[in-house]
Structure 1
Amino acid sequence: MDEVVISIGGRKHWLWRAVDRDGYVLDEIVQARRDTKAAKRLLVRLLKKQGLSPKRIVGDKLRSYGAARRDVIPGVEHRSHKGLNNRAENSHVPLRKRERMMQGFRSAGGLQRFISVFSAIRNLFVPPHQKRSALATHIHRIRAMAQWNAVAGATV
């Protein structure tokens, strides 16, 4: 789990994200607050979407994560250490690039709609994080493009 601050119309909003160990975005939610209630909402949405609870939660040292985990899924281990959530931190980079290109977001609802589509498409093209050869990565991207073309109805 991780959160990133995004300014919309001069007001701070937080984009809360749940990322798995391969770097795929599982769920994300835009909130105007950065507290335990927002972290709980993300955990509840994630549990409903995934259908099962995770073995462990990794986050930075924000105290809201521990409090939300104790309330929602008390039996799950919570790890917070300096470098453990780098995958979640790095998953913000493509969003930040897109945000600069779009010159910011106009509303929280627009951001929520955009990230739901953007993350799903990005997850399709990101290869799993295991050590792979260049050929395996190339084949993964060819398959992803074939799936994209099938869904989009594009002809090559």
Structure 2
Amino acid sequence: MPNETEYDYFSPYPNEGPDHSPDCARCAEARPELEKIRDFALAQKERFADQALHPYVAGKTSLHRSSCPTVEDLARQGVPLSGEGTESAADVFEGALLGFAHVRVLSAYRPNFTVMTDREAAGWVQARTGPRGGTRFRVCKVCTPDLPADGA
């Protein structure tokens, strides 16, 4: 039995290739988690498509306008990094599953941004503002968004 810590430099991920079983236990265990990540990422992609209704995008610690070039990769959620747009959504998922299960790499789904309405963005800002007005977030220096109103 091969050592799972070995890395085959001739394939993109360990355990990929003719010896990788379609019934791989690691892939089966990782599937539900990747499905959640995929669903979130694709929902953000749909929201991102309507920038009039969803004018803000938040990262972990920064607020952007949805038109900011920093967050434009949201439109590519669910597309393989190889650039081949001919693969079906199921094929993209199965390809991403292999890397996610064996080396915890996300290739087609990057859930690092949340697309928000004015009201949601106001809540996001409020949750990250201390009682004395200090903030635990930054405003993007590229798109310099105005802070959202209360959203009332």
Same fold (TM over 0.5): no
Larger radius of gyration: 2
TM-score band w.r.t. shorter chain: under 0.3
Higher RCO, 1 vs 2 (CA within 8 Å, ≥6 residues apart): 2
TM-score normalised per structure 2? 0.22
| TM-score computed with the length of structure 1 as normaliser | 0.21
More helix by share: 1
More strand by percentage: 1
